[in-house]
Structure 1
Amino acid sequence: MSADELGWVWISITAVIAVLLVIVVRLAVVAQHQRSRIAELEHSIEVASAVAAHPKKPEERLVGVVVNVTKDDADEVVRLVHTSCSQAGMPAPLIMASSAEDPGYLMTQRAVEAGADVVIAAGGDGTVRAVAATLAGSEVALGVVPLGTGNLFARNIGLPYQDLEACVDEAIHGQSHRVDTLHLRLQRPGGRTDEEVSLVIAGGGLDAEVMEDTRDVLKQRAGWLAYGEAGLRHVMGARKSVTVRLDDGEPATFRVRSVLLANCGSLQAGMVLVPSAKFDDGHMDTVLFTPRHALDWARILAKTALRFSSDIPVMKVRQARTTRVTMAEPMPFQIDGDPVGEVTAVHAEVVPGTLVVHGVKRAVEQPPQPALRELD
């Protein structure tokens, strides 16, 4: 299961239940907008801003690269990074391959110890998350060259993710921007606690179930549509009780099919699951899905595809700096598309501006939403 396919999971789940025509029309409009936006981004790259962002002399700058060598374009990215460093008069980059056992934590630490001022994550959202988790809290910047199918973090920060050369240029020479991370403490059945970091969306319930249960054979034959088959089998599953506390508010209990903690809100093909979720606003968006039947899922689809800003009863969205979710029974959980097993409670905290990222192109301020307790 690829870690950067979270967006397709949600799109496929809703698509098998509601009117597909809404999506088709919306995607046609968004595709044209996306092509225009990418062209504008590429045109706007200026050497002067890159120089101002990096006061070090070129010969003093070392670039580290953590690359997922299983991706089709991995060799091309390595070549592009070598060429860009050479042309800028920089030393040869430090290239390290991730592995199934370690998606990038140790490699990133080695790059930092070697003196790198930027570490490029060349892979999917799993590689990006591993590199980001190691760099968070330091002044070493994260560069992103997306090689996955979803590339959700790259999409949310506005990278021209379909142009490898432009992404390499942004990763090495792009302006620096500070983004938030979500620090997660996962309580496991039996009492063990694990510490994790999320950049995009973490969540428990339906999304984690689908990612754990998608059949590999069908995925190889049908691609992301395979998630629709798994979604169809799970979407009408029983709701479960969770108790949610935002910041210092009073806890509230809900029957949910899924609960999400979002640092970013955009998915593939221009779909926006959580419009208010921004990577640099100092808040996370807590999203509760409480559908009872197919009509409720159709309402969620319409809100997502048409970007309705108003609340609907079956999809509650509220912002906070800290969120505590306690499950009445163990619930499967995922982080940025990676299934991480069952949890009984999750404590999430936004760490504002803890990660320096190169090449961020989009940041939109949103006012905080009212507290969750006001929905009772």
Structure 2
Amino acid sequence: MDALLFHNPNAGSGDHSRKDMLAALSRAGFRATYCSTKGPDFKDMLKESADLVVVAGGDGTVRKVMTRIADRSIPMAIVPLGTANNVATSLGIVGDAWKHAEGWKAGRRQRFDIGLATGPWGERPFVEAVGCGIFAKAIGTKVDEDATREQKIQLGRDALLDILKKAPPLDVDIDIDGVRVEGDLLAVEGLNIGFIGSKLPFYPKANSGDRVFDVVCLRKDQRSAMLDWLTAPDGTVSPATAVHGRRLRIEYEGDTPLRIDDKLPDRPEKRAELFVEVHGKPIEILLPVEPPHAPDENETDQEQV
């Protein structure tokens, strides 16, 4: 079987050399063609055909390949090498993914929708989330490049906690499938995956392949509960509430913190509208043969409104 290996050589830390990755794929029975996502042949390689696409890198690398690959019918495997690895974690892909390579041929598959955000700046595909409020404002927070992966995640969470303490309600009008969302909101996130930001399990039940977005809203009266949750979020459920729908509309002011995945779009000069919907054919992600870790018995479902 032929595979295309897209690799970000700058992702994360540790040894993930071209030679070692190609050897791992060879042992698993794949004839792999290597491509650095930083190299000059990246755009051309996205147009090539194969039996499998392998993406080795962090969330940015996964998004870069997922949203640009020419043929979405080719199954894709993810090797998480970044800091947060929110896409992989949401899909249950954890640990040394190369150990799962031999099971990719007969592995389980999960459909993964590609979202499309349309605003005054044009159209932008995305894989993680589109949102406004505290998570958007936290993007770009400076962290020590020499810090460990765990330290970077904690620094990101600490920065979000500080932002949340003094965040004002958003000046936005929001509706999901034409139904308006009421209340003073501190954050609105149209999620395609369950983990966001600094590896936060914001809505772990999110289904990346159901053609529906999980729109998670954090209200002003939930600020205190959210602050408590951010101090120890792992293995617990956030206090935010979820609404589910196919089309999200956000009307916002130009100074509203807004994000598309980890990018901040250009700010409009006047009040504008943003539309979020599923775009085109989903991608099939190959999952580890072993099922993901089951939720702890103490975990509870989040409220749906």
TM-score by shorter chain over 0.5: yes
Q: Against the structure 1 CA distance between its residues 306 and 73, is the aligned structure 2 distance closer, same or farther, given a 3 Å change threshold?
A: closer
In 2, distance between residues paired with 1:143 and 1:87?
Answer: 13
In 1, distance between residues paired with 2:279 and 2:293?
Answer: 17
State, as a whole percentage, how many aligned pairs show the same letter.
17
Q: Which residue of 2 aligns with 1:240?
A: 170
Trace 1:1-376 onto structure 2 (pairs within 5 A): 61-71=1-11, 72-73=13-14, 75-76=16-17, 78-85=19-26, 88=29, 90-91=30-31, 93-99=32-38, 107=42, 110-135=44-69, 138-159=72-93, 161-170=94-103, 173-175=105-107, 177-187=109-119, 191-198=120-127, 200-212=128-140, 214-217=141-144, 220=147, 223-235=152-164, 236-247=166-177, 249-266=178-195, 272-291=201-220, 295-298=224-227, 301=230, 307=236, 315-342=240-267, 344-351=272-279, 354-359=282-287, 361=291
| Contact kept in structure 2, 1:333 and 1:341, CA below 8 Å | no
Unaligned runs of 5+ in 1: 1-60
AA partner of residue 72 (structure 2): S
Larger radius of gyration: 1
Q: Secondary structure at the match of 1:84?
A: helix
In 2, distance between residues paired with 1:335 and 1:167?
Answer: 31
Deviations 1:313-367 (CA, angstroms, capped at 9, x unpaired): xx33111111111114432333444444547432111358611212255599xx9
In 2, distance between residues paired with 1:113 and 1:241?
Answer: 42
Aligned positions, number: 289
AA partner of residue 242 (structure 1): V
Q: Which moved more, 1:291-300 or 1:146-155?
A: 291-300
In 2, distance between residues paired with 1:118 and 1:141?
Answer: 5
| Contact kept in structure 2, 1:183 and 1:196, CA below 8 Å | yes
Q: Against the structure 1 CA distance between its residues 320 and 300, is the aligned structure 2 distance closer, same or farther, given a 3 Å change threshold?
A: farther
Q: Secondary structure at the match of 1:234?
A: helix
Q: Against the structure 1 CA distance between its residues 215 and 268, is the aligned structure 2 distance closer, same or farther, given a 3 Å change threshold?
A: closer
| Contact kept in structure 1, 2:84 and 2:198, CA below 8 Å | no
Structure 1 or 2: more helix by fraction? 1
In 1, distance between residues paired with 2:175 and 2:76?
Answer: 32
1:223 positional shift: 2.7
| Contact kept in structure 1, 2:112 and 2:285, CA below 8 Å | no
1:295 positional shift: 2.3
Q: Give the alignment's Cα RMSD to 1 decimal.
A: 3.7
In 1, distance between residues paired with 2:145 and 2:158?
Answer: 9
Task: Give the TM-score normalised by the residue count of structure 2.
Answer: 0.77
Deviations 1:127-159 (CA, angstroms, capped at 9, x unpaired): 011111123762112111110121111112222
Q: Against the structure 1 CA distance between its residues 232 and 301, is the aligned structure 2 distance closer, same or farther, given a 3 Å change threshold?
A: closer
1:299 positional shift: 6.1
AA partner of residue 193 (structure 1): G
AA partner of residue 240 (structure 1): L
Unaligned runs of 5+ in 2: 295-300
Q: Against the structure 1 CA distance between its residues 182 and 271, is the aligned structure 2 distance closer, same or farther, given a 3 Å change threshold?
A: same
